[in-house]
Amino acid sequence: MPEASSKAAAPLSAEAALVRPSLKTLPHIANATVPAYDRASLSPGIVHIGVGNFHRAHMAHYLHRLFEMGLDHDWAIIGGGVKPFDATMRAKLAPQDWLTTVVELDPERMTADVTGAMIDFVETTPVALCAALENPAIRIVSLTITEGGYFVDALTGGFDAAHPDIVADAANPDAPATVFGVMLKALRTRRSAGIAPFTVLSCDNLPENGHVAKAAVTGLAALQDAEFGDWVAANVAFPNTMVDCITPATGPREIALVEDMFGMADAAPVTCEPFRQWVLEDNFPQGRPAFEKVGAEFVTDVAPYELMKLRILNAGHAAIAYPAGLLRIHYVHEAMAHPLVRGFLDWLLINELIPTVPAIPGVSFADYHATIVKRFSNSAVADTIPRLCLDGSNRQPKFILPAVRDRLAAGLSVDGLAMEVALWCRFCAALGVDGKPLAVPDDNAESLTRHALAARSRPAAFLEQQSIFGNLADAPRFSEAFGAALDRLWTAGVETTLADICQGAFATA
């Protein structure tokens, strides 16, 4: 982001009054930049479902910068969602006229922008969301609904048509409860009225996220009506994208930082690293904002970029999360300063993960590796190990296990990846290296811990969780490597095992 577009923190006096961002208070904000465009000049073109921190730091910020250039004012965002956390976010942003303070955590110079790309946020009910999607002005529906929100069957990798929520929406197409059911109801209405369908733009960290979104939407549509399912598949665009910007969760620390450094009493501020990347397929039949003018890259095939990010950055996060969690390291930058955690990360990336990524013309994987090390080491971001450990039962199948399958198919060693999965299993046993209880931040924590403890004497017990591992328990090279790695962690200890890896006493073919 150009330095001129954001304002650095100025020293605040103890008496300085805090300002909560809103259209009324914009003239009184002194320590952050405010929109240079007139919010009244904006009209909606996008409904975004899942208005969390990442969306506001990434897509909404790209739009904000585009609006600052005087461009594409008919592409403003309307927020939406159907989950309780969507309602919570809406309640926080409503008094702020949907404005968000975005702070870039550069250790050399922190800056803050009050961004205004979102101009409304509909009530968080399926009925209200559906009405917003039926609006002819809406040409893109974008999503950040988490990796676990797409109803993916762990065994097949395809759409999970048997999920209870999908079964319910298939039987009740006019009273949907899921995001995808709401989309389909709106698409039926638009089709009947002769209104062109919107483009569905996934901004979640998933391999081939556009294809995954298409599988969910068309899969549910086919269950409701086969002919309609065929129409959706033929007429709705689902471009693949690669998105990237490390965005910590907002807690008391982040709220206090925004108050202390910028004088802003934002109820839901966003802090993020000073890095953004967005690579998209240019498949938007009803048009799109000129995102390329603010740094996005449009390509014919996103898959190589996406795989690079998933296998190096996301899998890299997983590689440091569980050893650091077991060692009770709280911050990611502290984990990067720990020689055993950093050593394991580098070893796994160089030996097993990077070799699974096909070459991309003009891109150096060694440089990308160096860049993520720098990003992970940014102490100002203060990203946390508990955040990286969150939801492993959904993240491991997306970021680690596909690399396992690729290496198995190529006849290559999976010793290092098996060690990463063993570290996750050891973490799921809910005991730190000090023998004291450890929290497992996962919706499936109870089941994970039960299987992890059983795996101490019978490693296959962990791999038999088919909803996570599919048929990998039946792959001898992986199951044997996993069993050996887990036994090593329990008998030799986490630190000794990591030391052996870092010292080269752990070979891979």
pLDDT one digit per residue (tens) for the chain, 509 residues: 333 346 655 555 445 689 999 999 999 999 999 999 999 999 999 999 999 999 999 999 999 999 999 999 999 999 999 999 999 999 999 999 999 999 999 988 999 999 999 999 999 999 999 999 999 999 999 999 998 899 998 778 899 999 999 999 999 999 999 999 999 999 999 999 999 999 999 999 888 999 999 999 999 999 999 999 999 999 999 999 999 999 988 999 999 999 999 999 999 999 999 999 999 999 999 999 999 999 999 999 999 999 999 999 999 999 999 999 999 999 999 999 999 999 999 999 999 999 999 999 999 999 999 999 999 999 999 899 999 999 999 999 989 999 999 999 999 999 999 999 999 999 999 999 999 999 999 999 999 999 999 999 999 999 999 999 999 999 999 999 999 999 999 999 999 999 999 998 765 44
pLDDT value at position 14? 46
Task: Note the pLDDT of residue 2.
Answer: 33
User: How many whole angstroms separate alpha carbon 245 and alpha carbon 52?
Assistant: 13
Q: What is the DSSP letter of 82?
A: S
Tell me the CA distances in angstroms from 413 to 100, 407, 417, 418, one per residue in order: 47, 7, 9, 9
Other CB atoms within 10 A of residue 402 CB: 17
End-to-end CA distance of the chain: 42
Rounded Cα distance, 15 and 424, in Å? 48
Q: Distance from CA of residue 96 to its chain's centroid?
A: 25
Q: Please tell me the distance from the alpha carbon of residue 90 to that of residue 329, in angstroms, as a whole number.
A: 33
Run of H or E residues at 404: helix 401-409
Q: Which residues, in sequence order, are CB contacts of 281 under 8 Å at separation 6+?
A: 210, 239, 240, 241, 298, 299, 300, 301, 302
Tell me the sheet residues that pair with 141.
Answer: 47, 200
Q: What is the C-alpha to C-alpha distance for residues 415 and 264, in angstroms, rounded to an integer?
A: 49
Count of CB atoms situated within 10 Å of the CB of 154:
17
* Cβ pair 61, 114 in contact under 8 A: no
Q: Any alpha helices (H) in 2-148, and if so which ranges?
A: 53-57, 59-68, 84-93, 126-134
Q: Cβ neighbours of residue 321 under 8 Å, at least 6 residues apart?
A: 385, 388, 389, 392, 427
Q: pTM for the complete prediction?
A: 0.85
177-189 core/surface letters (b: 16 or more CB in 10 A; e: else): ebbbbbbbbbbbe
- Strand-pairing partners, residue 48, are 79, 142
